[in-house]
Chain A
């Protein structure tokens, strides 16, 4: 690792630290540091800390899943919801809402919906026990469109209350209702990111080509399956606590690739930092832009992310 890279990483750590401090201090309730640290406001401090924790998990999980899929599919535009996770989770949630199932079971339904769509996409894409990247992308699109249509159909024949609750799922939020669920999901995400990191070197080779990777002694088909499974588990788990948060899985890897290059052994840890910063900042905006109401974070990530993305694309044709 050269010195410039070390400097960049140190800088990212510093920004992350600053973002965490701002994230703790800023919120709809305007409190000073002294008040926040006093016993009376402990619950608010706790809630804000939970949000930051959620931002770290979400950012790292989605961005690293994005990296893995971008390398496997050799498509810089692949994102973690490519496998239909978002529409699947939405469908699961809308069914639970319409059936009047208690809200604490919602995450389970969302997870099942996400798992179902991934299962369908995976099997549609599989031919002769091989996964071709084009068919994976195509079947992901097909399943997403079909599931979205079912969601809209179900919403249109039910009340507006459902629609409102559903928008939370479809645009995401870091408001944590269940700290224990967040902890479980974070452990899953951490383990998943670790698994993907174990394959960092393989991802370097696979991002050039599957056969190229095989010529370097990497079992590309098996690696691909393990990583598709891992990213699926990560995104499906995250969607339970945070709903669907777009753009992070796309923009964090891209920005970090421009900053530190495409070598996955560096890119994966650095992207965890970058994505965490991005999520914390977006969450702060989501909370303070229109108090006391909170805007879904997916709206902010998209509104902040889209222009950044365009600038990045323009500035460097190489991705």
Chain B
């Protein structure tokens, strides 16, 4: 079976300067991939290249057997959805209106949503546990709820793949776990593939089956959490002393910081 997403010798970034240099990586259907790395290592740039916001300078991105530059934006949006860090909405749309926007790629110009579209949107809201918020306005929600609405919108696109850019960065630990559990659940139920940038190494270790560690625009190491989250790798990339141990309950690796100054 071909990988769902295949990246070969990718260079890309802004203007003329390539932030990413020679990145190659493949993602299989059903993978939960975490992209980690220090600030400025090119995580977000990689995600923006993969989601057709930026054009590669060199190299290719193959999605479902086709180069993504040859796929129309609208067709691409039927297969791949994107969840940004935080969505600030200036206009007071209701939750249902926002989730229904996920159906835009499936609608023709001026076509209004059918009963089926409405059903898909409502299913997505049930999945993300926001069905009770349907009529509420986006600007009245907490950031955890807002993020769930945006994930519901992504699910309503009925994609094969969801990209997320640090989906938990503004949330407390309870909401972080809630969002990550939600992603794991949709991966299990809808056989979704998930590619997410994460700051939190422990979340990456707990939820991802594959981790890509970026450093200076290059892939430093990729593989299973046990392979990537070693103290050698992390100390080399983050220039910080850490201890890596196993979570006694899940058995996944976790990373502890070692401060230079005593409290």
Contact = CB atoms under 8 A, between A and B. Distances in A.
A209 interface: yes
A201 interface: yes
B188 interface: no
Contacts of A217: 72-78, 104-105
A97 B102 CA distance: 54
B91 A262 contact: yes
Main secondary structure of the interface of A (DSSP, over half): loop
B94 interface: yes
Interface in A192-216: 198, 200-201, 204-205, 207-209, 211-212, 214-216
Contact of B84 (A200, A204, A212, A263): A212
B97 A263 contact: yes
Interface size class of A (residues with CB under 8 A): 20 to 34
A319 interface: yes
Contacts of A200: 110
A181 B110 CA distance: 31
B107 A214 contact: no
Question: Which of B74, B104, B107 is the most central at the interface, judged by chain A CB atoms within 10 Å of its CB?
Answer: B104
B91 A319 contact: yes
Interface string A68-83: 0001001110000000
B174 interface: no
Given A76-B91, A201-B109, A262-B91, A218 B73 contact: yes
B238 interface: no
5 pairs of A and B residues whose beta carbons are closest in the complex: A217-B77, A217-B74, A262-B91, A217-B105, A215-B82
Given A217-B78, A218-B73, 9 more contacts: A200-B110, A201-B109, A204-B101, A211-B53, A214-B52, A215-B53, A217-B74, A217-B76, A318-B92
Interface of A: 71, 74-76, 128, 198, 200-201, 204-205, 207-209, 211-212, 214-219, 257, 261-263, 265, 318-319
18 contacts: A76-B90, A76-B91, A128-B15, A207-B90, A207-B91, A208-B89, A208-B93, A209-B84, A211-B84, A212-B84, A212-B87, A216-B104, A216-B157, A261-B93, A261-B97, A263-B97, A318-B92, A318-B139
